[in-house]
């Protein structure tokens, strides 16, 4: 940071704002790096299983992690760097040297947000300080260079950036990194918007290819079907359950044999819009799942399990109709 050389040039309010904005990313960096991202072991396996139901599309029950030798809960993934299975794994982030998962995705998003705000403010502050320094030499100068030609404007900035190298270099660095940070934050907000994770978005891309090739089929799943509780949780805190099963076949023919789950005829699926994403409850509920994961949806179930379930299923039926 350019704060040490610039400290003398700052007003009290700018000093307070700078220190406050500077401390927040460190707090969230520590929180997201130090917190257990959602490691799954034998001791918490049933709790991890109860977070999300299988969607029978990108997460099917009965799959075991080859390393951890446990059933993979829906939305979990094994991280080869952490050498553990992690609930709702988004990705392994090298900047925090930790996975971003169910337990720390909130801190990771706050880290991105506060870092973006910090670099934006630092950019503004840097140019503002440098502009004040120019004004000492050229009293008519303003930060936008009003009344100066483009070449004068460029020359004056070039001069002041060289004259105050430390402040100038960090200001330019902040200017260049701010769009990258907000780009990454925007991508994660988009993922929340569509109810998915970085890991799942890759699975959806794979499905898109299968669908385009005509190898994907779906049929309905009875709402009150008998669950095989040796591979599937009897209850999850998620308010909706999958009403479809989506499978791919190697020969482009509908799945055959008595082992395939679901009822009715298989229907070929050509595009992702024809398949329901079970993990998308709408932006605000998806956001609540990120920031209030422990409490989200539990109240609904406790108030009226039956009513909430029928409401949820009718809502998802409407969604499915809208998508079609």
- The residues annotated as belonging to the active site are 93
Nearer to Zn ion, 86 or 281 (CB): 86
Query: At closest approach, how far in Å is the CB of 41 from Zn ion?
Result: 10
Nearer to Zn ion, 54 or 141 (CB): 54
Q: Do the Cβ atoms of 44 and 230 come closer than 8 Å?
A: no
Nearer to Zn ion, 73 or 168 (CB): 73
Burial letters 297-316, b for 16+ CB under 10 A, else e: beebeeeeeeebbeebeeeb
Size of the site for Zn ion (CB under 5 A): 10
Q: What is the DSSP string of 165-230?
A: HHHHHHHHHHHHHHHHHHHHHHHHHHHHHHT--HHHHHHHHHHHHHHHHT-EEEEE--TTPPP-TT
Mark residues 67-86: x for contact with Zn ion by CB under 5 A, - for none: xx---------xx-xx--x-
Query: At closest approach, how far in Å is the CB of 88 from Zn ion?
Result: 13
Between CA 170 and CA 122 the distance in angstroms is 8
Q: What are phi and psi of 61, to 5 degrees?
A: -70, 160
Nearer to Zn ion, 67 or 253 (CB): 67
Q: Do the Cβ atoms of 22 and 1 come closer than 8 Å?
A: yes
Query: At closest approach, how far in Å is the CB of 52 from Zn ion?
Result: 17
- Does residue number 222 form part of the binding site for Zn ion (CB under 5 A)? no
Nearer to Zn ion, 85 or 134 (CB): 85
Query: At closest approach, how far in Å is the CB of 138 from Zn ion?
Result: 53
Task: Return the C-alpha torsion angle 216, 219, 225, 228, nearest 10.
Answer: -20
Query: At closest approach, how far in Å is the CB of 274 from Zn ion?
Result: 32
Token pair, residue 76, equals 């979990």
Find, among 221, 206, 317, 226, the residue nearest to 260 by Cα: 221
Q: What is the DSSP string of 278-292?
A: TT---HHHHHHHHHS
Query: At closest approach, how far in Å is the CB of 79 from Zn ion?
Result: 3
- Does residue number 96 form part of the binding site for Zn ion (CB under 5 A)? no
Three-class SS state of 314? helix
Only segment of 91-99, 126-134, 189-197, 218-226 that touches Zn ion (CB under 5 A): 91-99
- Does residue number 99 form part of the binding site for Zn ion (CB under 5 A)? yes
Residues in the chain: 324
Among 9, 65, 143, 260, binds Zn ion (CB under 5 A): 65
Between CA 324 and CA 322 the distance in angstroms is 5
Among 75, 77, 88, 92, binds Zn ion (CB under 5 A): 92
Nearer to Zn ion, 85 or 216 (CB): 85
Residues at the interface with Zn ion (CB under 5 A): 65, 67-68, 78-79, 81-82, 85, 92, 99
């Amino acid at each position: 940071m350019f704060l040490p050389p610039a400290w003398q040039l700052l007003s009290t309010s700018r000093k307070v704002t700078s220190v406050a904005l500077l401390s927040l990313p460190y707090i969230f960096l520590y929180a997201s790096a130090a917190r257990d991202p959602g490691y799954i072991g034998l001791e918490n396996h049933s709790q991890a299983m109860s977070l999300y139901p299988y969607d029978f599309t990108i997460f099917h029950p009965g799959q075991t992690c080859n390393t951890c030798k446990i059933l993979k809960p829906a939305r979990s993934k094994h991280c080869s760097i952490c050498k553990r299975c992690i609930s709702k794994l988004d990705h392994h982030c090298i900047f925090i040297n930790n996975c971003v998962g169910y337990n720390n995705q909130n801190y990771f998003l706050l880290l991105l947000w506060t870092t973006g705000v910090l670099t934006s403010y630092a950019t503004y502050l840097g140019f503002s300080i440098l502009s004040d320094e120019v004004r000492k030499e050229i009293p008519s100068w303003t930060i936008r260079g009003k009344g100066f030609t483009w070449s004068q404007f460029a020359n004056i900035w070039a001069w002041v950036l060289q004259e105050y190298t430390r402040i100038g270099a960090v200001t330019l660095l902040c200017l260049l990194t701010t769009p990258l940070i907000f780009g990454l934050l925007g991508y994660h907000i988009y993922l929340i918007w569509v109810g998915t994770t970085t890991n799942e978005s890759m699975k959806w891309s794979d499905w898109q290819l299968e669908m385009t090739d005509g190898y994907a089929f779906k049929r309905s799943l009875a709402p009150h079907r008998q669950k095989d509780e040796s591979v599937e949780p009897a209850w999850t805190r998620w308010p909706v359950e999958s009403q479809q099963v989506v499978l791919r076949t190697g020969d482009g023919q509908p799945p055959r044999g008595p082992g395939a789950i679901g009822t009715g005829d298989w229907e070929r699926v050509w595009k992702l819009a024809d398949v329901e994403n079970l993990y998308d409850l709408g932006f605000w509920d998806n956001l609540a799942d990120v920031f209030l994961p422990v409490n989200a949806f539990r109240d609904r179930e406790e108030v009226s399990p039956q009513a909430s379930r029928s409401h949820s299923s009718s809502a998802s039926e409407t969604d499915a109709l809208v998508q079609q």
